[in-house]
Each structure stands twice: as C-alpha cells, then as structure tokens.
Amino acid sequence: MISNYRIRTEQLHPVLRISLRKLATQLDRLMRYWRTQILRRPRPNDSWIADRGDDTLRVIYPLTPESVVLDIGGYKGTWSQKIHEKYQCHIHIFEPVSSYRSEIEGRFAECPKVTVYPFGLAGKNVKARIAIRGDASSVLLADMERDELIELHDVADVLQPMQKHGVDLVKINIEGGEYDLLSRMLETGITSMCRNIQVQFHPWVPHARERRKMIQEALSRTHSLTYEYPFVWENWLLSC
C-alpha cells in the first residue's frame, strides 16, 4: 500500500530503520482515525484498509492452475507469491530493477510456473534511469544518488504472443508509468485479451485525473469496473 509518510531509510542503522517504520505506521493509524472518526472525511486509502483490500480484493479471483497472470511491476514478488500459493497458476513477473528482481528470483527459485523477466513494460522500447525508492521506484522521479539504468519493452511486442490463450489477470503498479502503458494496450487491443486488469493509478503524474478518466472511458467499452478505490486500486473485468 501507499504510505502517506514516506521515509527513506535504506541507509540507516537497522534498529533505527525499524523504529522509524513503526513510528510511520503508528502515525498513519492516528491520522486515519482522525479522518474517519473525527472529521468523518475518509480517503479512498482509508476505505481500502478498512475493507482489507490487500488480503481480499487484490487476491480473490476465479483462477485455476492453468490460469495466466502478469505482474507488471513485481517489486519483491509479495503479491505474486500470494497468487501462486493460492492458485498455483502460471505467473509472468516483469521487474527491471536488478536488486528487486534478484529477490523475486530467489523467492521463486523452486517454482517452474513462475517466469521472471529482466525488464519492465511500457508504451515503447526505451532505456531509462529509474529512481530507487523502494515500492515507490519510478522512471518519472529524479534521484541521481540512487538510480539505475533499466530496459523497458513495448508491451504490445511482449504480450502479442500471449493473445491466442489470453491473460486471466494482469496487475499493474509501475509508479506513474501506468498511463502510457495502458494507453498503448488500448491502442493495440491488448486490453481485450486481458480478463481482469488490476491497476493502481498515481495522482502525482501531470494531468493524472484527466488521463485516468480517458483510460477508464476507453476501458469501459470492453470491460466493467468491479471495484474502485480512486488512486489506490481498481479492477476491470472483461465484459464478454
């Protein structure tokens, strides 16, 4: 989930790092209580936490061992592990950051149905520098202290071979890159081969609200919205 108080702690002493994370968690809870119980103005993220979305909506799908799942923006593979343990399906994980990818490969070393790719997916083929900021790592953020040169491949080129059998679930969490990615998927018809599209839109991207609305309108021609927590998580189900 997205924390309202991001603290960059990678280089701190382990004890201090743990203490700061606990403090951030407690502060999140306090502010959430203030918004929901005192002000009566909950944010979408508050509702998501109350509904236990990470343990329910994000992982409960009609999948089988033969299903195909895409994890675009695998990070450390936590979500994919939940899906694999629950359904034993085929999972393709795209993670361009080397350190995160190594963790994913270690996690699934004994899982032949999980394939890890050393690149990310985007609207075109490009090499870019990505700011390394944990689960907020993004090619749209400048961070010369901690960045890495990565490869992004055109989503249409990569997923086209899967069109015959289709994709049962695709999860997209790429810190701002989802707008270009989904635009390309819509342009090339790739979305029509995806039964479920689970995506996290990010509000800090320029014109995010307008771009999200345009993408939603385009998706609504082939998919139906099954749940929506604005700029937290939403899911689109293929209508036919």
Contact assessment for residue 67 and residue 167, using Cβ atoms and an 8 Å cutoff: no
Which band of pLDDT confidence, cut at 50, 70 and 90, is reported for residue 1?
A: very low
pLDDT value for 197: 98
pLDDT at 131 over 50: yes
- Single pTM value for the model: 0.82
Nearest of 192, 234, 190, 188 to residue 213 by alpha carbon: 234
CA distances from 104 to 80, 91, 126 (A): 9, 12, 23
pLDDT value for 6: 44
1-15, 114-128, 141-155: range with highest mean pLDDT: 114-128
Which band of pLDDT confidence, cut at 50, 70 and 90, is reported for residue 142?
A: low
In terms of residues, how long is the chain? Answer: 240
Q: What is the dihedral of CA 172, 177, 182, 188, to 10 degrees?
A: -120
**Angle, helices 208-219/178-188, rounded to nearest 10 degrees:** 30
Q: Is the dihedral of CA 65, 67, 73, 79 positive or negative?
A: negative
The average confidence (pLDDT) of the chain is: 88
E-strand stretches of the chain:
68-72, 90-94, 114-117, 120-122, 126-131, 147-154, 167-172, 194-199, 223-229, 233-238
pLDDT value for 5: 41
CA distance 91 to 84: 8
pLDDT value for 31: 56
Joined tokens for residue 191: 């979305």
* Residues linked to residue 121 through DSSP beta bridges, in sequence order: 153
Q: Any residues with CB less than 8 A from the CB of 207 and at least 6 apart, and which? A: none
- The bridge status of strand 194-199 relative to strand 233-238 is antiparallel
Distance of CA 208 to the CA centre of its chain: 16
pLDDT value for 138: 76
